[in-house]
Amino acid sequence: MKGIYAAMVTAFQEDGSLDEKGIREIVRHNIDHCGVKGLFVGGTMGERYKMSTAAMKELYHIVADETAGKVDLVANISALAFEEVLELGACAKEEGYSRVAMIAPIFHGYNSEEIVDYYIYIADHISIPLMIYVIPSFSKVDFTESMLVRLLKHPNIVGLKFTHNDYYLLDRVRVKCPDAILFTGFDDILYHALLMGTDGAIGGTFNLTGRLAKKLYDAVQDKDYKTALKYQRNINDVEDMLNATGLFPTLKAALQIMGVQCGELKKPNALITEAQREQGRKIVEYLERIGG
């Protein structure tokens, strides 16, 4: 597992159900236009916690059917109830996904031993490799070095999706777990993460900037660091524009302008505003201008 993976957005209909046609368009856009190595399905950018378990399983199936083995697939199996986590893990395995990822249990404020024991329990009860999805800005769970190293010694816990800015922690994990799969989840520091020995990135903005991210990744492999840094700054220009009017809605607005019928964000998010659509147009113009 190496390279650039898009944390794909999810298309919904007005009633909140999945838009199969839109999902298939998103998949093809990421493969054909962005050139990603893989897709991360039902993640934070994909609005996982707004979907039922049944909808998640349907999403896994649609994406697997549309990709038809063209790219690697990783499923987010995070859920509030452990029974649902196990059900999603079994479904991902059946649909041909290579790995799954799970956010730490949220809301009730579990202690570190409970969190470690929970990951071990899940890893013991699914038949597909598990990645730890580190995202403290959403989960409010701060993993320590000892927690991560201990978990990565489990034979069925194979790596991290590290959406966190503590790169000292990531470096210590890399040193102590040299065989672990380490993917950054922050698109804006892909260049720096690769230099520190990560294997690639799973990013939401790669739905737009996947071409640039792939060029960046290839430049680092070729040790052309000046070129790699240029592409990182291109990606960060897009991030600045997205964040100026709201990351999630502006990204979907830009995709729609590119001809990808990804729909609106699911409730309780508001509808995309005209200001966000205008910003989306500016982003698409910028990408066209620089070949992104």
Give the residue numbers marked as catalytic: 133, 161
List the one residue out of 18, 71, 47 whose CA is nearest residue 204: 47
Which residue in the block uniquely carries the two structure tokens 């236009």?
Answer: 33
CA–CA distance, 272 with 137 (Å, rounded to integer): 23
Specify the residue for token string 């065989």. 179
Residues 6+ apart with CB under 8 A from 52: none
Residue located via tokens 């698409």: 284
Report how far apart, in Å, the C-alpha atoms of 141 and of each of 1, 44, 84, 123 are. 26, 15, 20, 19
Distance in angstroms (rounded) separating the CA atoms of residues 185 and 131: 13
- Dig out the tokens for 224 from the structure: 């052309």
